[in-house]
Amino acid sequence: MKLNPDCIRDLLLDVEAKSTFDNVVIYSEEKDEPLFNKYGVDTVFYHIRQADTQDFLLEK
């Protein structure tokens, strides 16, 4: 799959809007996420993996 910079940007903005220091963001296929409607579930999860690989999404 080819990396979609718009999807990465939307994903990072969504995580930033939803997360706090005490709250992590968890994406699940069972949830109705606007990103899933816009890009598709497989595409969003691919981009989550790619962002995590590059340490854009850190859980400490």
User: Are residues 47 and 5 in contact, defined by beta-carbon separation less than 8 angstroms?
Assistant: no
The model's pTM: 0.83
Compute the half-sphere exposure of residue 5: CA atoms within 13 Å on the CB side of its CA: 0
Res 17 pLDDT > 70: yes
Q: Is residue 3 within a helix (H) or strand (E), and if so which, with residue range?
A: none
Average per-residue pLDDT for the chain: 90
Distance CA 23, CA 44 (A): 20
pLDDT in tens, 30-40: 888 899 999 99
Confidence grade of residue 29 (pLDDT, cut at 50, 70, 90): confident
Instruction: Of 4-8, 19-23, 40-44, 46-50, give the lowest mean pLDDT range.
Output: 19-23
